[in-house]
Amino acid sequence: MNSTNKVAWFVFGFLAIGVGLYPLIYIFSADHVGIQLSKSAALLANVAWNLGFYGHILFGGLALMVGWVQFSKRFREANFKRHRTIGGIYVAAAVVSGGCGLGIALFATGGIVAQLGFLTLAVVWLYFTLNAFWAIKKRDLDMHRVYMIYSYAACFGAVTLRIWLPLLTLAFGAFLPAYRVVAWLAWVPNIIFAYIWVRRKGLNIG
């Protein structure tokens, strides 16, 4: 691995772990923080929404933190049992977080545009993750690899959202229009990047 790749790998891991730990702010804060500040008192008091919200951010953070190491060929080949265990944790966390995301997307700040953006993301993430799981069950390693690349690209939307949102808020001069755009911008380019990566590696899913 050359120096440029090492830097990129370090930044990739740093962002995945840093944003993966971000949900702990919601756990340890004595007051409402972040996106909670844009929610109504009635919604914040709703048990079902809270279960969905915390399930989404906590398991999503776990998926983000464990998933990035799977992209290291050296790490994968060094210990297959470890790779399989971490993969299982990622899939379980992604399914829980994505399932919770389906529910809370309907209450996303920013109205129908943001709601559809996050709802589509949840569907896409679940689709790719479950297909990756079924592919490995069939021992189709190439398809498993492709679907996992797409799955983590969707998962990494948690990182790109936090990069784009402050920039868009500054550009628009307001949070709501920025949030509507970032509901799509956080993940669609990631999927496009994954598609290009997969094609360059000579892999395809039809």
- At 106, the amino acid letter reads L
> Which tokens is 48 given?
């079902």
- Mean pLDDT for 147-154 is 97
185 or 68, greater pLDDT: 185
Q: What is the pTM (predicted TM-score) of this model? A: 0.92
pLDDT grade, residue 3 (50/70/90)? low
Question: What was the pLDDT predicted at 2?
Answer: 61
Is residue 87 in a domain? yes
* Cβ contact 114:183 at 8 Å: yes
Is residue 47 in a domain? yes
Domain hosting residue 113, numbered range: 3-200
- pLDDT for 191 beyond 90: yes
Please identify which residue in the block is written with the tokens 């990069």.
Answer: 163
> Which tokens is 142 given?
């190439």
pLDDT grade, residue 49 (50/70/90)? very high
* Local structure of 98: helix, strand or coil: helix
pLDDT grade, residue 157 (50/70/90)? very high
Is residue 165 in a domain? yes
Is residue 63 in a domain? yes
- The predicted-structure confidence for 91-142, as pLDDT tens digits, reads as follows 999 999 999 999 999 999 999 999 999 999 999 999 999 999 999 999 999 9
Is residue 205 in a domain? no
pLDDT grade, residue 74 (50/70/90)? confident
Is residue 206 in a domain? no
Q: How many domains does the chain have?
A: 1
Number of H helices, E strands in the chain: 11, 0
Query: What rounded mean pLDDT belongs to the chain?
Result: 92
- pLDDT for 150 beyond 70: yes
- Mean pLDDT for 64-82 is 85
Q: How far apart are CA 34 and CA 53, in angstroms?
A: 12
